Chains A and B, each alone.
Chain A
């Protein structure tokens, strides 16, 4: 009985929070809605990164590649072929997850640092390729594509909210499922996992492609939100780095850590960017170093250690 009440209380809290978030565009100014869109987009980036890297231990330094490829496909569909945004976004995400099957099949054989480097190489290579004259008829070269998708801010906000909500449910379900356990087994000891009969390659690729789809969807929305795309901004290393820092702060491998990290860091970004434009990135680098040295388990990991939160995979 107690347990049931506890469970219902949590669902009630979720319900109230969602109701509040849905109603935000009716009373808040555009500034706050736009800020919330960014928070939600980065929540999805961070959760998407965490879904693959946090669980399997394969550090993905190519998040910007997911974002850039999906952003390019969807933006070009909207700009050059006058597609509706609602259709262009999933097509972009489907495209990048389709390519990710191949990429994952090839690159996920490489372990540890080499995997991280090869994803960086893939991102850098694709960025340069999209800016060359060879692909100019399709990508418009290095100067980028401005476009108007014709989606109003509240609609954009609600779509992002829906995406973030679904992403969190997916992450929650996966982390508490057997599939999630298998991924964590890969993280702890891939060889041992394989000897126990886990089809490691298949599971890794599924997680990788799922992460690509989620992040790709958010990436497409992000590009529409900015009404502009060019290789340097779409494949920017900062798009890889920021979600990683957010996840590290919140707690790698936790479900709600990325949300906390994304919310906090988007606010920090908003404040620091306005006040200290030039030093902002330097502070960011210093925070990243400090997190690794002094706070490697993240906020939620620390709270679990101290007994403030139960040691459950589901949080």
Chain B
């Protein structure tokens, strides 16, 4: 029983990071209308950001997480203004193929410059016991960070003026434009936020797992499963979806095999799209 609870909590911790990734993807997809396949590559860049800040500049990794958000926010806005804004009126599949190309470009450049070496940030290693359960320090910190960032995102979207503008753009871009909302700016800000979330998720990931140029792929397939589970553009849905995927992965790894756990996201995507294409929750 203790073992089961431990696996469950480990799954929730894992899922909180997935949720962060999924929220970024669903935000960009829902508001900007661009399916960003390169999302995983920004996670990889975020992880390398934290890694280089730690090994070259000796930054505290927690500081890197905080710095990664504005850094990747601006990076994302620049990418959107230069590239993806041109595709707003194009067929949605154009953006899909374009970001696919972007993904390949980014991870191969990363591989070229940083090689295929597995790297990690040795910080907060070790465990601590609570009521007979054992937790890794880094994962607990990650969990706190991920949940904190999620809450900040909810509050921002719900109460700030910019957040209201973003939600209006997502509901009906044309009406929002008529009401005096600068939808082009809203899209750029949202794209930046999505990339910022991916960067932060990457910096958090670097605390607990190895970093390598192709790491983005596995996150992006989970992120798609999360978006499909939670419903397109549904941030709360993405949080819950992320936790579900994390717990499922943890359980399947424990009771079946790690290889089988890799199939879980694909299976969820197929099942949900067939049985309940609007996601688990009504919007």
Contacts and interface: CB of A to CB of B under 8 A. Distances in A.
Contacts of A122: 266, 270
Contacts of B83: 289, 293
A125 B101 contact: no
B112 A278 contact: yes
A292 B94 contact: yes
Contacts of A278: 108, 111-112
B108 A279 contact: yes
Interface residues of B, number: 39
Contact of B259 (A133, A244, A279, A291): A133
A141 to B, nearest CB: 10
A280 B94 CA distance: 22
A122 B94 CA distance: 21
B270 A118 contact: yes
Contacts of B23: none
Nearest to A289: B101
B101 A117 contact: no
A244 B97 contact: yes
B66 interface: no
A303 B225 CA distance: 41
Nearest to B86: A293
Nearest to A116: B96
A124 B97 CA distance: 18
A169 interface: no
A128 B262 contact: yes
Contacts of B101: 284-289, 291-292
Interface string B247-273: 000000000010110110111011001
Given A279-B108, A289-B102, A59 B267 contact: no
Contact of A110 (B97, B109, B273): B273
Contacts of A120: 221, 224
A202 to B, nearest CB: 19
Interface in B88-114: 90, 92-94, 96-98, 100-106, 108-109, 111-112
Nearest to B97: A292
B204 interface: no
A248 interface: yes
B108 A124 contact: no
Interface residues of A, number: 41
B257 A118 contact: no
Nearest to B259: A132
A282 B105 contact: yes
B102 A125 contact: no
Contacts of B69: none
Contacts of B273: 107, 110, 114, 117-118
B267 A288 contact: no
A124 B93 CA distance: 20
B108 A59 contact: no
B103 A285 contact: yes
A136 B62 CA distance: 43
Contacts of B102: 285, 289
A192 interface: no
A121 B265 contact: yes
A282 B104 contact: yes
B144 interface: no
A116 B95 CA distance: 12
A121 B86 CA distance: 28
A121 B269 contact: yes
A121 B224 CA distance: 9
B179 interface: no
A165 B108 CA distance: 35
Contact of B104 (A114, A134, A241): A241
A146 interface: no
Interface in A10-26: none
Interface in A82-109: 106-107, 109
Nearest to A248: B97
Nearest to A286: B105
B263 A125 contact: yes
A288 B265 contact: no
Interface of A: 57, 59, 106-107, 109-110, 112-114, 116-118, 120-122, 124-125, 128-129, 131-134, 241, 244, 248, 278-282, 284-289, 291-293, 296
Given A132-B257, A279-B108, 5 more contacts: A110-B277, A112-B93, A114-B228, A122-B270, A285-B103
Interface of B: 35, 83, 86-87, 90, 92-94, 96-98, 100-106, 108-109, 111-112, 221, 224-225, 228, 257, 259-260, 262-263, 265-267, 269-270, 273-274, 277
6 contacts: A121-B266, A124-B221, A125-B267, A281-B108, A282-B109, A285-B104
Return the 5 tightest CB-CB contacts between A and B, nearest first.
A288-B101, A285-B105, A285-B104, A125-B266, A282-B108
